[in-house]
Amino acid sequence: MGVPTDDAVLIQKGKKAGDPHVITVNCPDKHGLGCDICRVILDFGLYITKGDVSTDGIWCYMVFWVVPHSSSPFVRWPSLKNRLQSLCPSCSVTFYFNGQPSNSAASPVYLLKFFCLDRKGLLHDVTQVLSELELTIQKVKVTTTPDGRVLDLFFITDNMELLHTKERQDDTYKQLNAVLGESCMSCELKLAGPEYECHQGISSLSPAIEEELFRFELSDKETRSQDLSSDMARLKKANVVIDNSLSPAHTLVQILCVDHKGLFYDVLRTLKDCNIKIAYGRFSLNSNGYRDLDLFIQQNDGKKIVDPDKQDGLCSRLKMEMLHPLRVIISNRGPDTELLVANPVELSGAGRPRVFYDVTLALKSLGICVFSAEIGRYSSSEREWEVYRFLLEENCRFKYSSTVARNEIVDRVRRLLMGW
- The tens digit of pLDDT for each residue in 234-282 reads 666 789 999 999 999 999 999 999 899 999 999 999 999 999 999 999 9
Identify the three-state secondary structure at position 57.
Answer: coil
**pLDDT above 60 (res 387):** yes
Query: For residues 372 and 379, what is the distance between their CA atoms, to the nearest angstrom?
Result: 22
| Sheet of 184-191, strands arranged across | 184-191, 110-117, 149-158, 135-144, 370-380, 383-392, 336-344, 327-333
Between 204 and 133, the higher pLDDT residue = 133
Report the pLDDT averaged over residues 347-367. Answer: 94
Distances (CA, A) of 188 to 151, 191, 292: 11, 10, 48
Query: For residues 374 and 141, what is the distance between their CA atoms, to the nearest angstrom?
Result: 5
Taking the CA atoms of 44, 45, 51 and 54 in sequence, report the sign of the dihedral they define: positive
Q: Pick the closest to residue 409 from 352, 327, 324, 329 (CA basis).
A: 329
Report the pLDDT averaged over residues 205-225. Answer: 67
Strands 239-243 and 251-258: antiparallel
**pLDDT above 60 (res 420):** yes
Q: What is the pLDDT of residues 72-131, one digit of tens each?
A: 667 889 999 999 999 999 754 444 444 444 445 678 999 999 999 988 889 999 999 999
Strands 290-299 and 251-258: antiparallel
Q: What is the pLDDT of residues 325-346, one digit of tens each?
A: 899 999 988 888 999 999 999 9
Query: For residues 339 and 369, what is the distance between their CA atoms, to the nearest angstrom?
Result: 12
Q: What is the pTM of this model?
A: 0.87
Q: State the amino acid at position 268 in one-letter form.
A: L
